[in-house]
Chain A
């Protein structure tokens, strides 16, 4: 059973550029959530994808967008990068059951460290 993997590990971009981060979910998981962790803070929920559709979104602007693929891997895209976007971006996968099913813990990847200059 492989865990959650993310690529790249580190990334440096300049303000105004666009970036794509990738995540492979843990085997058997069908749900992917993305979090932003700024320095000294806890992870902040960006959005979640379930069966290739967005299934909940945090307080992030539309320039943060995502995709989930049929194999449940996912991408996070950020357009028009700003300096404050510098953070660790974490992907977490989980197995979502039927509607009303119990909540399961999320399994996190190691993250992608994004630096915006």
Chain B
């Protein structure tokens, strides 16, 4: 039973356009969400996070939106660059779970020049 879902295994976007990656979760106890980016042969690297007390968090070209009622979050990348091509994982946590996260299966983003 997947608690964190990323229903799009892959996404292709033209350079300079917006990339939108989606994530859904089922456990209403989750109160902290993160996005990680992973290049081949490297470990995941932290990108951006959001607490459930917020509905938006922005960091440069990256913005994460949280819709708690829909149990949905999304990552927007504007503008998309070829170096953004990677696998993006959505992860969720709740306070009693400590610092450990439940990861989604990932979405492979390809930014085309």
A contact set with B: CB distance below 8 Å = 4, 31, 33, 35, 40-45, 48, 55-56, 58, 90, 92, 94, 96, 103-111
Contacts and interface: CB of A to CB of B under 8 A. Distances in A.
Interface of B: 4, 6, 32, 34, 36, 41-46, 49, 89, 91, 93, 97-106
A42 B99 contact: no
A90 B44 contact: yes
A48 B98 contact: yes
13 contacts: A41-B105, A42-B91, A42-B104, A42-B105, A44-B103, A45-B102, A48-B99, A104-B99, A105-B46, A105-B49, A106-B99, A108-B43, A108-B44
A82 B106 CA distance: 25
B49 A109 contact: no
Contact of B42 (A31, A33, A56, A110): A110
A44 B101 CA distance: 8
Contacts of A108: 36, 43-45
Given A41-B105, A42-B103, A42-B104, A111 B43 contact: yes
A17 B83 CA distance: 40
Given A40-B105, A41-B105, A42-B4, A33 B100 contact: yes
B89 A42 contact: yes
A93 B46 CA distance: 12
A90 B43 CA distance: 7
A31 B101 CA distance: 14
B8 to A, nearest CB: 14
A58 B104 CA distance: 15
